[in-house]
Amino acid sequence: MPAPIGLIVSNIARRQVRKTYHLHGLGRHTLDEQKSFARRDLQAIATQTSNNGYIAGDRLTVYDFAVASLVAGMIDNEPSTWISTLAMETPAVGEYAERIQSEINVYCRK
């Protein structure tokens, strides 16, 4: 008896996601390595925004919209993920996202 079409499609989709993940590079690293990369990136955001207030200097730019929305999405993700936990470990990153959202009066959370 042939496999149900839903099972075939889900297996194809799963293989495609694995292939894309590998092509993007993250699929070549362990979860611990991925967490290390994320911590390093989050710390870089925290350092940059603590020093200058914004990503690209001392004023709001389009880059702040992108970075703050990405960070807010990490923190406010439901259900919470391992990246949410890492983002919350760096309070300066959450404070930056909140400040940018407040400045433009647009919030990523529900």
* Residues whose CB falls within 8 Å of the CB of residue 83, separated by 6 or more in sequence, listed in order: 38, 74, 77
25, 29, 96, 104 from 69: Cα distances, Å: 23, 26, 10, 11
Structure confidence by residue, pLDDT tens digits, 41-71: 999 999 999 988 999 989 999 999 999 999 9
Mean of pLDDT values over 92-105: 93
Instruction: State the number of CA atoms in the 13 A half-sphere of 71 facing the CB.
Output: 30
Name the pTM for this structure. 0.75
